[in-house]
Amino acid sequence: MQRILVIDDDKDMCLVLSRFLSKKNYSVEVAHSGEEGLKRLRVTDFDLVLCDYKLPDVTGIELLQKIKVLNSAVAVIIITGYSDVKTAVETFRYGANDYVTKPLYPDELLLTIKETIEKNQIKLHLENGAEPVSGIKKTNGTVTSTFNFVVGKSTQSQDVQRYIELIAPSDMSVIINGETGTGKEFVAQSIHKFSKRSGFPFMAIDCGALPKELAGSELFGHIKGSFTGAITDKQGSFEIADGGTIFLDEIGNLSYENQVKLLRVIQERKIKRIGATKDISIDVRIITATNENLIKAVKEGKLREDLYHRLNEFKIQLAPLRERKDDIVFYADYFLQKANQSLGKSVQGFSKEVVSIFSSYHWHGNLRELNNVIKRAVLLSTGALIQAESLPPELAQTSPVESEGNMIHESVGLLKSIAWTAERQAIKDVLEKVNFNKSKASELLSIDRKTLYNKLRLYNILA
């Protein structure tokens, strides 16, 4: 039975999640603070941590970093309000696997949990050289993951595809630059797929999620007894990827010591396990990715200049989704098909208003956020087309007025926006005043508790 740890200071939320997930055959433990959650992680191995971003004693990113130190293999899903999606997306840099937004919907949550655990198990099987599981194929005696890479319709996407086909047959190192959620790992996988190394492993390593104390071991391996906790010999990712491709995401997060080791790997094609005396020869192609300015990192002394030039034999820049308008509906249709299949529904498309909203929205999380929005919208939709009411409120607010020349419509839209914002803020102020006691809040607001709960859900107020 797979084990899930729920960390949330809302005891009612913990109770509901515990009962629901237990009925779905998961073993569930709960913690009401970050420190309590860490205590449970020290004594129990979990398959997944479901963690609220806002906790009373620690921030989501701080807790995520501590979780990864205690158990780098555990999958983590962040719970957040939709207004905090930009912040939630940032947690991917520190090892989060996915996020879900409040209010939580059972089918969406269950699907996300299943997909996250499955993907994490695939990753762990790859690292441990175990027998294939669902989603993994075995070729030439090695293990590699399967994937779907969909080329967009925009000029930028078509250019990226040409670069992939051009660079793939070579052994040149590649840097992929782009915001979180733009598909950097999928581009790396596609380069591997079209290369002569496609029959060998593709290893994806999130350098941002690697605890500094364990990064050297994860990348280069160790021998038994080389440090506290090294109870057996361990292959590093470079050994496992021998003959294939290693993808280092968020390369700028590597420590100086490991940057030196990586430079040696590139120059000499050899690694040395921690505590070992003998070198091991390897043949690995290196693809790196980042969402930061590496030239700036070099100037600031965060990244070795010689390492940067070794890695930067070819660079691919991925444009954010908001700059690829032609791709938005294309990918929306693709994610719609996936969501229909996963949720057993048959939504046929999007209303004109929704298409307009999609084109106007900023998309902080890019393709990852678009996928999550559509999955939730499919879940909530009852008709043939996804309507604006199935979208998160913050997203729907980006809808442009139907006629730019119609000042009346524009004024009405502005008034609605002001009223929406004012009511939301008033509710938040009252809740804070009564220390989030919903009974007292409903009395002060002169509404019943049911109406209050409906408004909390409408405005995505975390209370």
pLDDT digits 0-9 by tens, 212-259 = 777 888 899 999 988 877 888 888 899 999 999 999 998 988 888 889
Give the pairing of strands 280-281 and 270-271.
Answer: antiparallel
Mean pLDDT of 346-353: 95
Quote the CA–CA distance of 220 and 246 in Å, as a whole number. 12
Residue the block writes with tokens 């980006």? 398
Closest C-alpha to 103, from 422, 341, 463, 460: 460
Q: Report the amino acid identity of residue 124.
A: L
User: Residue 26's pLDDT band (boundaries 50, 70, 90)?
Assistant: very high
Number of C-beta neighbours around residue 331 at 10 A: 22
pLDDT value of position 20: 93
Q: What percent of the chain has a predicted confidence (pLDDT) above 70?
A: 87
Res. 312: pLDDT tops 80: yes
- Residues 83-124 have pLDDT tens digits of 677 777 778 878 888 888 888 888 889 989 998 998 888 777
User: Residue 139's pLDDT band (boundaries 50, 70, 90)?
Assistant: very low
Which has the higher per-residue pLDDT, 463 or 170?
170
User: Residue 404's pLDDT band (boundaries 50, 70, 90)?
Assistant: very low
Mean pLDDT of 453-458: 74
DSSP state letter for 202: E
Classify residue 380 by burial, with Cβ atoms within 10 Å: 0-12, 13-18, 19+.
middle
Mean pLDDT of 179-205: 92
DSSP state letter for 54: B
DSSP state letter for 235: -
Q: Distance of CA 273 to CAs 231, 262, 265, 377, 402, Å? A: 14, 13, 12, 48, 63
List domains and CATH numbers for the chain.
Answer: 3-125 (3.40.50.2300), 155-317 (3.40.50.300), 323-396 (1.10.8.60), 407-458 (1.10.10)
The number of residues making up the chain comes to: 463
pTM for this structure?
A: 0.67
